[in-house]
C-alpha cells in the first residue's frame, strides 16, 4: 500500500514519536504548502565568492550609505578599522580616522544614514561620520558621548546605552543630538539636545525608529514619542517584563520587529509582542546556540522572499565561528535550519558593475550570479556574506545539500487491515521538481525509548523515482537527502505492508 505523506512544518521542539512535524529540515526554506498544514520546502543556494578582498581583522559590521545622487556606498568595520568597498577594484579600502579604533571584544559597528552621510558607532570609540560624496576618511562626530546603539528620528541622531566623561557607562540612557545637527550634543532647551535615563527596564539592547522610536531593553520595550519643547520626548513603557536579550537578533521588516527574548523568539508591532517560536524552535535554539558568542550573530532579511536569517555560532562551532542559520518565514510563521553559508551574513545593496569589470572573475564559471541578476545593477536590496577575513560572497551558488527527516511513525496505523503494530517499508519516493539526486535512509526501532538504527542510503530509481528498501519495525523515520539543481520538495510516498506478529 502506498501512503502519501505531505511534508509538514519543522518541529524540533516536539517529541520524536508522533511529532506533528519534521525532526530535520536542513538547508531548505519553508513556503506555503499545497494543502492546509503542509509545507513546500525549497533549497537554499550556497555562497559564491564575489570579491576576494580582506579586512585586517574579523568583520564587526556592514553599513550602507548613499551619496547625493543616491548611489550606494558600502562600508565595513573590524576591531581596528573602517573600510569602503570600491566596486571598480572589488577591494576594501581603509577609510578609518587617523589612529584607527579599539573596538572591544564583544562590540560591533552599527550605523545610520543622515542625508548623504553615514554615522557609525562601536561604543568603544567616539561616533564616526563620513560624507558619502567624498568618503575618503571617517572622523569623530562628537567627543561628548559614545553609544552602543544608534537611530535617526525626525532630525535627531539618537544614541542609547551610552558612555560619557561625566557619568561613565549608562546602560539605560538614551541621548539625542540637537535638532537637524548631529554634531551638536551639548544639552540645550533651544536646540532640544537632551537625554533620558530609563528605570526598571534592564540595559538597552536596541533601537528601532518609525513614527516613534522603540527602545528595546533586556526586560522591557519603551516607546519614545516626540512632543517638542519643553519635554522633547516622552517615554512610555509599552511592554513590561519582556525584552530583547540578544542585541544582534533584532531586526525590523515591513514594520514588524523580530528578536530573541531570553526564553524564545518574538515579534513586535504597534506596542504588542507575540511569540513566534513557542513549541516550534525555542527549546532547540536555546540548547543549540553558544550563549558565550551571541555577539557574533548576524541577522538579515531576504530581498525577494519573506525570510529572516539568524546566523549564529552553535555549541559545536569551531572557534566560536557562526556555523548555523535559523530561517523564519514571516508570512507563514514556519521555520527551517541551514548550515551557515558564510560566518557573517548581512542585508546590503548592490553596487553597479560594467561588462569590463567582469574580467575580474577570469572565466564565466567563476561569475557569482547570472548576467540577468540584480547583483549587477546598483541600489537593489541583496544579501552579502563575509568570511572571517572580510572576503565578500553573494548567495548565488549551487544548491546546498538538503536533508529532510520525518517523525518516528507507526506506519502500521495507516495500513488497512493491519493486525499488528509493525510494518515493512519496501520503497520510498520523494516528490520534488527539477533535476536532483535523491538518497533515502530508513531509521527503525522496536520500542519507543530505543535509538534509531539507520540503514545505508539507497538511491532512487530513474524510471520510478522510488528507492527500494526493506525495513521491518514498529517505528520508522524516513530521511531524504537531495543534491543537485532541484526545487520544491513537497511530499514523500511510502510503500509499506503489514508485518507478521506473534
3-state SS class at 345: strand
| Residue 338 DSSP one-character state | E
What residue ranges define each of the domains in the chain, with the CATH number in brackets?
A: 2-42+401-498 (2.60.120)
C-alpha cell at 103: 573596538
Nearest to 338 by CA among 403, 266, 251, 260: 403
pLDDT in the model for residue 362: 53
Sheet strands side by side (includes 128-131): 110-114, 117-121, 128-131, 139-140
pLDDT in single tens digits along all 502 residues of the chain: 999 999 999 999 999 999 999 999 999 999 999 999 999 999 999 999 999 999 999 999 999 999 999 999 999 999 999 999 999 999 999 999 999 999 999 999 999 999 999 999 999 999 999 999 999 999 999 999 999 999 999 999 999 999 999 999 999 999 999 999 999 999 999 999 999 999 999 999 999 999 999 999 999 999 999 999 999 999 999 999 999 999 999 999 999 999 999 999 999 999 999 999 999 999 999 999 999 999 999 999 999 999 999 999 999 999 999 999 999 999 999 999 999 999 999 999 998 754 445 454 455 555 555 545 554 456 899 999 999 999 999 999 999 999 999 999 999 999 988 889 999 999 999 999 999 999 999 999 999 999 999 999 999 999 999 999 999 999 999 999 999 999 999 999 999 999 975 5
How far apart (Å, rounded) are the C-alpha atoms in residues 420 and 445?
A: 15
Assess whether the previous peptide bond of 230 is cis (omega < 30° from 0): yes
pLDDT in the model for residue 368: 56
pLDDT in the model for residue 361: 46
List pLDDT tens digits, range 352-407: 754 445 454 455 555 555 545 554 456 899 999 999 999 999 999 999 999 999 99
pLDDT in the model for residue 381: 96
Question: Cβ-count burial of 166 within 10 angstroms (0-12 exposed, 13-18 middle, 19+ buried)?
Answer: exposed
Nearest to 438 by CA among 398, 478, 396, 471: 478
C-alpha cell at 178: 540637537
Per the listing, cell 573600510 goes with 83
pLDDT in the model for residue 370: 55
3-state SS class at 405: strand
Nearest to 399 by CA among 358, 441, 433: 433
How far apart (Å, rounded) are the C-alpha atoms in residues 35 and 32?
A: 8
Nearest to 95 by CA among 126, 121, 131: 131
User: Whole-model pTM?
Assistant: 0.94
How far apart (Å, rounded) are the C-alpha atoms in residues 82 and 59?
A: 10
Q: Beta-carbon neighbour count of residue 358 at 10 Å?
A: 14
Q: What share of the chain is helix, strand, coil (3-state, %, to 5)?
A: 5, 50, 45
How far apart (Å, rounded) are the C-alpha atoms in residues 251 and 150?
A: 14
pLDDT in the model for residue 371: 47
Longest dimension (CA), the chain: 90
C-alpha cell at 403: 536533508
pLDDT in the model for residue 344: 99
Q: Beta-carbon neighbour count of residue 486 at 10 Å?
A: 19
Question: What phi and psi values does residue 412 have, to the nearest 5 degrees?
Answer: -60, -30
Helical H segments across 143-194, by residue range: none
pLDDT in the model for residue 367: 56
Q: Beta-carbon neighbour count of residue 138 at 10 Å?
A: 27
Beta carbons within 8 Å of 341's beta carbon, 6+ residues apart: 44, 46, 47, 311, 325, 385, 393, 395, 400
pLDDT in the model for residue 502: 54
Residue 216 Cα distances to 160, 250, 356, 380, angstroms:
10, 9, 46, 29
pLDDT in the model for residue 355: 46
Question: What phi and psi values does residue 485 have, to the nearest 5 degrees?
Answer: -90, 60
| Residue 328 DSSP one-character state | E
Nearest to 245 by CA among 263, 257, 272: 263
How far apart (Å, rounded) are the C-alpha atoms in residues 247 and 261?
A: 10
3-state SS class at 214: strand
Query: Is residue 202 a contact partner of residue 220, using CB atoms and an 8 Å limit?
Result: yes
Beta carbons within 8 Å of 449's beta carbon, 6+ residues apart: none
3-state SS class at 421: coil
Beta carbons within 8 Å of 258's beta carbon, 6+ residues apart: 249, 250, 251, 252, 265, 266, 267, 268, 276, 299, 308, 328, 330
E-state strands within 88-138: 91-94, 110-114, 117-121, 128-131
Amino acid at each position: 500500500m502506498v501512503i502519501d505523506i505531505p511534508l509538514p512544518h519543522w518541529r524540533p521542539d516536539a517529541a520524536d514519536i508522533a511529532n506533528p512535524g519534521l525532526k530535520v529540515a536542513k538547508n531548505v526554506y519553508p513556503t506555503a504548502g499545497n494543502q492546509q498544514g503542509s509545507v513546500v520546502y525549497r533549497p537554499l543556494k550556497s555562497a559564491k565568492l564575489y570579491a576576494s578582498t580582506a579586512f585586517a581583522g574579523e568583520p564587526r559590521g556592514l553599513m550602507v550609505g548613499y551619496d547625493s545622487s543616491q548611489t550606494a556606498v558600502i562600508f565595513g568595520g573590524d576591531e581596528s578599522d573602517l573600510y569602503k568597498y570600491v566596486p571598480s577594484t572589488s577591494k576594501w579600502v581603509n577609510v578609518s580616522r587617523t589612529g584607527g579604533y579599539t573596538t572591544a571584544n564583544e562590540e560591533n559597528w552599527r550605523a545610520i544614514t543622515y542625508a548623504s552621510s553615514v554615522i557609525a558607532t562601536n561604543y568603544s570609540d567616539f561616533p564616526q561620520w563620513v560624507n558619502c560624496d567624498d568618503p575618503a576618511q571617517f572622523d569623530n562626530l562628537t567627543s561628548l558621548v559614545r553609544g552602543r546603539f544608534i537611530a535617526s528620528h525626525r532630525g535627531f541622531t539618537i544614541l542609547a546605552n551610552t558612555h560619557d566623561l561625566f557619568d561613565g557607562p549608562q546602560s539605560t540612557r538614551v541621548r539625542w543630538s540637537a535638532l537637524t545637527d548631529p554634531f551638536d550634543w551639548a544639552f540645550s532647551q533651544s536646540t532640544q539636545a537632551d537625554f533620558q535615563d530609563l528605570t526598571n527596564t534592564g540595559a538597552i539592547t536596541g533601537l528601532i525608529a518609525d513614527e516613534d522610536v522603540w527602545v528595546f531593553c533586556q526586560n522591557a520595550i519603551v516607546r519614545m514619542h516626540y512632543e517638542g519643547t519643553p519635554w522633547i520626548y516622552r517615554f512610555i513603557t509599552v511592554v513590561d517584563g519582556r525584552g530583547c536579550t540578544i542585541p544582534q537578533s533584532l531586526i525590523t521588516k515591513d514594520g514588524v520587529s523580530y528578536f530573541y527574548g531570553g526564553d524564545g523568539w518574538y515579534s513586535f508591532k504597534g506596542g504588542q509582542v507575540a511569540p513566534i517560536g513557542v513549541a516550534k524552535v525555542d527549546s532547540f535554539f536555546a540548547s543549540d546556540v553558544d550563549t558565550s558568542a551571541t555577539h557574533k550573530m548576524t541577522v538579515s532579511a531576504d530581498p525577494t522572499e519573506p525570510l529572516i536569517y539568524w546566523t549564529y555560532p552553535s555549541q559545536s562551532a569551531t572557534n566560536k565561528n557562526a556555523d548555523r542559520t535559523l530561517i523564519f518565514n514571516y508570512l507563514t510563521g514556519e521555520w527551517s535550519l541551514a548550515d551557515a553559508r558564510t560566518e557573517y551574513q548581512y542585508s546590503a545593496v548592490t553596487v553597479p558593475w560594467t561588462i569590463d569589470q567582469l574580467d575580474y572573475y577570469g572565466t564565466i564559471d567563476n561569475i557569482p550570479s547570472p548576467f540577468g541578476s540584480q547583483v549587477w545593477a546598483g541600489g537593489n536590496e541583496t544579501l552579502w556574506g563575509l568570511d572571517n577575513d572580510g572576503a565578500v560572497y553573494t548567495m548565488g551558488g549551487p544548491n546546498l545539500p538538503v536533508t529532510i527527516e520525518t517523525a518516528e511513525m507507526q506506519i502500521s496505523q495507516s495500513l488497512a487491515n493491519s493486525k499488528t503494530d509493525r510494518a515493512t517499508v519496501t520503497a520510498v519516493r520523494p516528490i520534488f521538481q527539477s533535476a536532483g539526486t535523491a538518497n533515502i535512509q530508513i531509521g527503525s526501532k522496536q520500542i519507543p525509548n530505543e535509538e534509531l538504527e539507520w540503514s545505508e542510503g539507497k538511491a532512487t530509481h530513474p524510471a520510478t523515482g522510488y528507492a527500494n528498501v526493506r525495513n521491518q519495525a514498529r517505528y520508522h523515520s524516513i530521511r531524504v537527502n537531495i543534491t543537485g539543481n532541484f526545487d520544491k520538495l513537497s511530499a514523500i510516498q511510502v510503500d509499506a505492508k503489514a508485518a507478521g506478529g506473534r
